[in-house]
Chain A
Amino acid sequence: MFESNVFDVFDFSESNKNEKGNGNGNENEKQKEKKPINPNEPLLSEELESKVKPTLEEDIFLSKSLTGGCRHEIAYPEEWENKENGQEMIDDLKNLEYPKEPATTFKFTLDPFQRTSVCCIERGDSLLVSAHTSSGKTVVGEYAIAKALKNNARVIYTSPIKALSNQKYRDLKAVYGDVGLMTGDITIDPESTCLVMTTEILRNMLYKGSEIIREVQCVIFDEIHYMKNKSRGVVWEETIILLPDKVQFVFLSATIPNCLEFAKWISKIHKQACHVVFTDKRPVPLQYYLFPKGSNELYLIVDEDGNFKDRNFQKAVTSININPITNSLINNNNQSSSKNRRLQQSQDIYRVVKLIVEKNYDPIIVFAFSKKQCEVKAMELSQMSFTTSEEQEMIQFIYKQAIGTLSEDDQKLPQIKKMLPMLKSGVAVHHAGLLPIMKEIVEILFGEGFIKVLFATETFSMGLNMPAKTVIFSSTKKFDGTVFRNITSGEFIQMSGRAGRRGLDKKGIVILMLDERIEPSVAKDILLGKPDSLNSAFHLSYNMLLNLIRIEGINPEYLMSRSFFQFQCERQLPRKKQQIEELKIESNDIKIINESKIKKFYELSEKIQELSVEIQQIRTKPFYSFGYMKPGRLVRIRKIYRYGKMKFGKVKKVIKWNWGVVINIKKRHIRRKRDEMLLEDEKENEEQDNNVLEQLKNNLSSEYIVDVLIECEDLESIQKKAKNKIRKNLNKNGGNKDSNDNDDEDEEDDDNDNHRGIVKIVKFPLSDIYKISKMRVRVPENIRSVKTKNRIIRSISEVKKRLEGTIPQLDPVENYKSTERGYEQTLEKLNELKKEIKQFHLIKNTTQWKEGYKKFLSKIEILTQIEIAEKQLSEYESVILNDKLGSMKKSLESLKYVNTEGIISEKGRTACEISSGNELIITELLYQGVFNDINIYQLTSLLSCFLHKERSKTTPKLPENLNNPFRKLTETAKKVGKIEQKSGYEINIEDFVKSFHPGLMKVVERWTFGDSFLEITKLTKNFEGTIIRTLRGLEELMRQMSNAALSMGNRDLSSKINDGIVKVKRDIVFAASLYL
């Protein structure tokens, strides 16, 4: 059913105002919307609910249902309560008066939350404003700037992204004039009173003790919810902690549920009151629609009042025809089906966009979750034209103007040329892979209303004030680096916040495209869920430590103890304690008959499990078994899934397979050559002392991958088996084997089940093999056909038949001549235990026992939970991350960055200079003279490895002149990784080494040589935007390196690097932003 009536509510005349954009337009509109309020009117109107004493309930959403109103709470330091005039100070906080002479006046009437915020700023108190994206938080920031300017105090405005800083700089410059900009790329008027900068720059200034810090009265943190970002979030925390107490903080945030918690943290660490102003009112209400795949209709599922329409949802979901391929459990999606799917999806988007444009609900933002998808879909759609000829002319004009700043060569870049026809038809893409200039052109055109359909990735939802009328989600799933998962409600809120332009639209439209059936509860979670909490992502870095050690009187512990992370942990304490109490009561409540006996039995079977794993490990030590992994060897595979990562954690699930046939064995990820080398190494090692050997034996187990031809169950046979099982259970009167009983004889039973599955070659780590037979079967060279595969598997049962059912296993002592200590003892012990457990066989099958056992298992479950909770509790109680700090300090000491007394050395000072690459590795390379020995081209290309973050699977072949320095880099990384590991720092050396990717070495080398950008883009498949980011980062890093070299007293290197900077910094890569 198409809810056309809903669309009709719109006032069509509105959409003609599109060209006006959203800049000043919406402010004028706001004025029209609201009746002017008498400025002398008391502020605490009905709409505003003010609370001074913070409630215990932190969660704003829990404490009060909000009806589009505004909420004001105040956090103040605890010590105030005991102070002499403390109560007066607290009472005074309530005293909010709108200034008689405001620092700046606005052309429109302020919303209640804006008025409250202005009052707080006028008092000079810190403030956190939490509101939806387009609700006008900017006004608050602007007022803070105006007030600081009036007082002749410096004010700093920080934003998470460079592009956002550029835009903000332009906006503020136009209003206030005395504005400067500082990002990693560019510095303009650093002496200005108002400075726009990225948070990283501010953090570095704080560490360097810059003079600006002593002049700053107010710091505005835009998009503070970015603090939860895994890698960069910690920068915000460092910055906030290091700023002086007298600074006024203004935080602008998207809606976060725990804003009061955040404010309390600020008030605690800076001994000042912090106000919270919260509103979840959307200036433009949103309607949510579903567009099921392959359908022609939109279903309204959430109306503007937030009511979920179950009936429509059901209809929408049932209209999805289930594709048998996508929904099958089999993993091997063949290529053609996914192609089909993609085709279908792009047709879907085509249909939706057409529908929306016909209804005049453009401009549209389509969120796709990959750069490639954006490009492909936009290309397909650009065959349609959404623009008038006048608009096309304007687009061409703006485009030509912007491009004119580039050199002629650069204007010929494919990305630039490709874009114009697309833009002219009113379609554009926006993602991180674009050239910065193209991104800006798109932003400008979109702001002017020439772009009707914009395909963007998630990054577009960050901060840029670019709303559209309609937002479409091309999928509900995104790839987050490891898995495809549903988007979270927080992400959904952030992105859907782009719908509805204030003052232009009465309603914003959000369309969710569904390509598979989802549960209503899942959909509700996404659509109506809470925004993400602001949780600390605090972690330690070496640069942070060194910088803190260098300053007298401050140490890393000081920073850590004041972190939001610590604060949040401490607040968890009472809750955790309560949880433990509850769990303890629960476990005591479980009464079991015969508990001691059951416990004994449980312990025995656990022990048996453990020992048999141990035996398996000895039997399958790659050191021994490697030689036996010849094609044709019969092996059995067992996978054990455990809770947690502990080696002997509680077993969750055990899967066993039938006998399989080894086809091949390979070392993981490592090329042939290395493989052979390694084998030679092993041979050499045999002569060395036993300890080394032991280590080698242990370390290898998971590194080898064995291809095993094995019979896998397909869906049908799973079902059949289940049926069989039921039948069997019926026959045996429920006397099924206990899964904890690990007798070998039991397993042999399964082998006789004659179910036919799919015979496939599957890769297993060597450690998963738990039985190796003495037998081998013949494997023909070509085993691709299903027939041969089946034949091989059949030959296994043949073998079994001949050997009367049992397949003999390799014996470690006899066959490998194992010197493994304790193998025989273990085996003996295992047999003893097995004998012991036999005594339980009789009572094991009584119902009473079974019930008791079940209860006991649940009790064990609770006990482990208590254990975990208690461990967490002790972690919360101590200073967080203390162990980590200890191990990091240790590695700094062993690398000689600090001396034994913890005082920074010359080397440590050098490392302090470097903040945009891995400071340890670069410093090591500096002190090894690696940069001295190579020329500037090699140098720049080597540095690119520190900046290139995008992982591509293929490693390009490097010419000798680049490979040499790169090899030195990997050697150093390995060395440093090993030292870190020795110091107790958890690190995966292989991953660490791999994080330095040589993907752009060649490109950067050619760029330094002076090749044009066009030429270097041909060398790589990376996006142009990625290359530019890397090169810009390179210039920043080189400036730091030049300083580092000077601090070492190495003038030659410093001047070499400075020459390099001149070579790198040119053309389109460093073309100024259009906003500047």
Chain B
Amino acid sequence: MNVQVVNLGEVITNENESIRGHGTFQKDGNLVSSVAGIVHRVNKLVSVKPLRSRYHPEVGDVVVGRITEVLRNNWKVDIGARHDAFLGLSAIILPGGVQRRRTSTDEMNMRNFYKEDELISAEIQKINYETFKISLHTRSFKYGKLSDGQFVTVPPMLIKRSKSHYLVLPNGVLLILGCNGFIWLSIPEESELKIKKISNWFISTTTELQELEDEINENSNKSIKDKNMDLETNNFDFYKKKEKMITKEQRLEICRVRNAVLALSNSFLPIYPTSIMLVCKKSIEENINPKEMIKQKNMIILTSEVKELIK
């Protein structure tokens, strides 16, 4: 594949036929890049995707964000985009899934749902391209408050879009890969997942990779389904803070995944379940402790296999 990399202000093309897309502007009949990045062409549309930038939201993206302000009937959420996102009071699910209009009492009690500085997961509902207002919603029970876990940020362009961004890894770690580069790691709600020791896998062929992906998907679906069932019965606890017991082993696994993500980010490699698991596996093979994983020399060792895979 031919990749065209351009600098800010560089002429991309002088063909008259091209139409200008994101990251470009027209000057003297030329199409000029307004960012440094890679040129994408779809039919005649030319756009430039920047190598490093703030998050560019798209409708339907799963994001992790932090509440920064409680407003009259919505929350201001930082999702790392150019603009703040807003989560409306009417865009959340009320306890028990009750369907009704929000009252002023609800507005008064907004802090019972989400307070400042809390982390949430949500979906981009709509983007007003005129005013750049980004609206979020928590469409189902799987979105909402995040607690008892660890938060990591990476450049958003490293997050590889996949069918599901709500994942349970084979080592029992819940992974929410926010498309905005905000990643949440925790332990899923109690469920009967088969959790394998990472050392037991040997990923070498693509078929096994496929199997791994399938397993991750299956696990994720199961846990999320369980969560749904759970919440329908105990719905009032949904917005309450739950103290989960997290064992030392689990903490170590979460830590391992976190540092794997950081290692990938350090090498500017795409972050998705398979790449994360490859790094984790490597760390066990090389006998590197989770806390050792983010040493520069270790990071290079750990990500070498992923680099091979991507080539």
Most A CB contacts (10 A, CB to CB) among B24, B62, B90, B166 go to B90
Asked if residues A244 and B101 are in contact (CB atoms below 8 Å), the reply is no
Known contacts: A209-B137, A903-B161. The answer to whether A927 contacts B99 by CB under 8 A is no
Q: Please, how many angstroms separate the alpha-carbon atoms of A1049 and B45 in the complex?
A: 9
CB-CB under 8 A from B23, the residues of chain A are 1049
CB-CB under 8 A from A552, the residues of chain B are 60, 62, 123, 163-166
Chain B interface, >50% SS class: loop
CB-CB under 8 A from B19, the residues of chain A are 927, 929, 932, 1048, 1050, 1053
A592 interfacial by beta-carbon distance below 8 Å = no
Known contacts: A215-B99, A928-B44, A1049-B20. The answer to whether A208 contacts B126 by CB under 8 A is yes
- Taking the closest CB of chain A, its distance from the CB of B310, in whole angstroms, is 15
CB-CB under 8 A from B99, the residues of chain A are 153-154, 214-217, 244, 246-247
B103 interfacial by beta-carbon distance below 8 Å = yes
CB-CB under 8 A from B98, the residues of chain A are 246
- Taking the closest CB of chain A, its distance from the CB of B280, in whole angstroms, is 22
- Taking the closest CB of chain A, its distance from the CB of B227, in whole angstroms, is 12
Choose from A211, A244, A896, A1052 the contact partner of B90 (Cβ within 8 Å): A211
Asked if residues B93 and A214 are in contact (CB atoms below 8 Å), the reply is yes
Most B CB contacts (10 A, CB to CB) among A154, A209, A904, A927 go to A209
- Taking the closest CB of chain A, its distance from the CB of B117, in whole angstroms, is 24
Asked if residues A244 and B97 are in contact (CB atoms below 8 Å), the reply is yes
Tell me the nearest residue of chain A to B138, going by C-beta.
Answer: A214
Q: Please, how many angstroms separate the alpha-carbon atoms of A356 and B91 in the complex?
A: 59
Asked if residues A211 and B91 are in contact (CB atoms below 8 Å), the reply is yes
| B201-231, CB < 8 A from A | 224
Most A CB contacts (10 A, CB to CB) among B17, B93, B125, B129 go to B129
Asked if residues B100 and A151 are in contact (CB atoms below 8 Å), the reply is yes
Tell me the nearest residue of chain A to B47, going by C-beta.
Answer: A1049
Asked if residues B93 and A553 are in contact (CB atoms below 8 Å), the reply is no
A391 interfacial by beta-carbon distance below 8 Å = no
Known contacts: A214-B93, A1046-B129. The answer to whether A927 contacts B140 by CB under 8 A is no
Choose from B60, B92, B100, B164 the contact partner of A152 (Cβ within 8 Å): B100
Tell me the nearest residue of chain A to B93, going by C-beta.
Answer: A214
CB-CB under 8 A from B165, the residues of chain A are 552
> Using an 8 Å CB-CB cutoff, how does the interface string of A72-103 with B read, 1 for contact, 0 for none?
00000000000000000000000000000000
- Taking the closest CB of chain B, its distance from the CB of A116, in whole angstroms, is 24
> Using an 8 Å CB-CB cutoff, how does the interface string of A820-862 with B read, 1 for contact, 0 for none?
0000000000000000000000000000000000000000000
B115 interfacial by beta-carbon distance below 8 Å = no
How many of chain A's residues have a CB under 8 angstroms from any CB in B?
Answer: 47
- Taking the closest CB of chain B, its distance from the CB of A236, in whole angstroms, is 20
> Using an 8 Å CB-CB cutoff, how does the interface string of B40-51 with A read, 1 for contact, 0 for none?
101111010000
CB-CB under 8 A from B125, the residues of chain A are 208-211
Asked if residues A1050 and B123 are in contact (CB atoms below 8 Å), the reply is no
Asked if residues A1047 and B129 are in contact (CB atoms below 8 Å), the reply is yes
A1043 interfacial by beta-carbon distance below 8 Å = yes
B72 interfacial by beta-carbon distance below 8 Å = no
Asked if residues A550 and B60 are in contact (CB atoms below 8 Å), the reply is yes
> Using an 8 Å CB-CB cutoff, how does the interface string of A198-223 with B read, 1 for contact, 0 for none?
00000000001111101111000000
Asked if residues B42 and A214 are in contact (CB atoms below 8 Å), the reply is no
Q: Please, how many angstroms separate the alpha-carbon atoms of A209 and B137 in the complex?
A: 8
Choose from B45, B162, B224 the contact partner of A901 (Cβ within 8 Å): B162
Choose from A215, A550, A896, A927 the contact partner of B101 (Cβ within 8 Å): A215
- Taking the closest CB of chain A, its distance from the CB of B206, in whole angstroms, is 14
B139 interfacial by beta-carbon distance below 8 Å = yes
B88 interfacial by beta-carbon distance below 8 Å = yes
> Using an 8 Å CB-CB cutoff, how does the interface string of B151-174 with A read, 1 for contact, 0 for none?
000000000011111100000000
Known contacts: A246-B98, A553-B142, A927-B43. The answer to whether A903 contacts B137 by CB under 8 A is no
Tell me the nearest residue of chain A to B43, going by C-beta.
Answer: A927
A193 interfacial by beta-carbon distance below 8 Å = yes
Tell me the nearest residue of chain B to A152, going by C-beta.
Answer: B101
B189 interfacial by beta-carbon distance below 8 Å = no
B252 interfacial by beta-carbon distance below 8 Å = no
Asked if residues B90 and A927 are in contact (CB atoms below 8 Å), the reply is no
B196 interfacial by beta-carbon distance below 8 Å = no
CB-CB under 8 A from B290, the residues of chain A are none
A924 interfacial by beta-carbon distance below 8 Å = yes
Most A CB contacts (10 A, CB to CB) among B24, B60, B126, B142 go to B60
Size band of the interface chain B makes with A:
35 or more
B22 interfacial by beta-carbon distance below 8 Å = yes
Most A CB contacts (10 A, CB to CB) among B45, B142, B165 go to B45
Asked if residues B101 and A209 are in contact (CB atoms below 8 Å), the reply is no
Tell me the nearest residue of chain A to B17, going by C-beta.
Answer: A929
Tell me the nearest residue of chain B to A1054, going by C-beta.
Answer: B129
A551 interfacial by beta-carbon distance below 8 Å = yes
B102 interfacial by beta-carbon distance below 8 Å = yes
Asked if residues B164 and A153 are in contact (CB atoms below 8 Å), the reply is no
B195 interfacial by beta-carbon distance below 8 Å = no
> Using an 8 Å CB-CB cutoff, how does the interface string of B10-34 with A read, 1 for contact, 0 for none?
0000000111111110000000000
B58 interfacial by beta-carbon distance below 8 Å = yes
Known contacts: A211-B137, A551-B60, A928-B44. The answer to whether A903 contacts B100 by CB under 8 A is no
Asked if residues A550 and B42 are in contact (CB atoms below 8 Å), the reply is no
Most B CB contacts (10 A, CB to CB) among A193, A217, A553, A1046 go to A553
Asked if residues B88 and A154 are in contact (CB atoms below 8 Å), the reply is no
A780 interfacial by beta-carbon distance below 8 Å = no
Asked if residues B92 and A214 are in contact (CB atoms below 8 Å), the reply is yes
- Taking the closest CB of chain B, its distance from the CB of A896, in whole angstroms, is 6
Q: Please, how many angstroms separate the alpha-carbon atoms of A217 and B47 in the complex?
A: 44
Q: Please, how many angstroms separate the alpha-carbon atoms of A210 and B58 in the complex?
A: 16
| A240-259, CB < 8 A from B | 244-247
Q: Please, how many angstroms separate the alpha-carbon atoms of A680 and B20 in the complex?
A: 40
B59 interfacial by beta-carbon distance below 8 Å = yes
| A1021-1055, CB < 8 A from B | 1043, 1046-1050, 1052-1054
- Taking the closest CB of chain A, its distance from the CB of B40, in whole angstroms, is 8
Q: Please, how many angstroms separate the alpha-carbon atoms of A216 and B19 in the complex?
A: 42
CB-CB under 8 A from A924, the residues of chain B are 43
> Using an 8 Å CB-CB cutoff, how does the interface string of A861-905 with B read, 1 for contact, 0 for none?
000000000000000000000000000000000001000011111
CB-CB under 8 A from A209, the residues of chain B are 123, 125-126, 137, 139
- Taking the closest CB of chain B, its distance from the CB of A719, in whole angstroms, is 65
Q: Please, how many angstroms separate the alpha-carbon atoms of A903 and B24 in the complex?
A: 25
Tell me the nearest residue of chain B to A555, going by C-beta.
Answer: B163
CB-CB under 8 A from A901, the residues of chain B are 162-163
CB-CB under 8 A from A1050, the residues of chain B are 19-21, 45
| B122-142, CB < 8 A from A | 123, 125-126, 129-130, 137, 139-140, 142
Tell me the nearest residue of chain B to A930, going by C-beta.
Answer: B44
CB-CB under 8 A from A270, the residues of chain B are none
- Taking the closest CB of chain B, its distance from the CB of A1040, in whole angstroms, is 13
Known contacts: A551-B60, A903-B162, A904-B60. The answer to whether A214 contacts B91 by CB under 8 A is yes
CB-CB under 8 A from B93, the residues of chain A are 214
- Taking the closest CB of chain A, its distance from the CB of B212, in whole angstroms, is 15
Known contacts: A215-B101, A902-B163, A1052-B20. The answer to whether A553 contacts B60 by CB under 8 A is no
A137 interfacial by beta-carbon distance below 8 Å = no
26 A-B residue pairings within 8 Å (CB atoms): A152-B101, A153-B101, A208-B59, A208-B125, A210-B125, A211-B91, A211-B137, A212-B90, A214-B99, A215-B99, A215-B101, A215-B102, A244-B97, A245-B97, A246-B97, A550-B60, A551-B123, A552-B123, A901-B162, A927-B45, A928-B43, A928-B44, A929-B19, A1048-B47, A1049-B23, A1052-B20
Closest 4 CB pairs of A and B: A1049-B22, A927-B43, A1046-B129, A211-B90
- B contact residues vs A (CB 8 Å cutoff): 17-24, 40, 42-45, 47, 58-60, 62, 88, 90-94, 97-103, 123, 125-126, 129-130, 137, 139-140, 142, 161-166, 224
Contacts A929-B19, A1047-B129 known; 13 new A-B pairs at CB < 8 A? A152-B103, A209-B125, A215-B102, A216-B99, A553-B142, A553-B224, A896-B42, A905-B42, A906-B47, A928-B44, A1043-B129, A1049-B20, A1050-B20
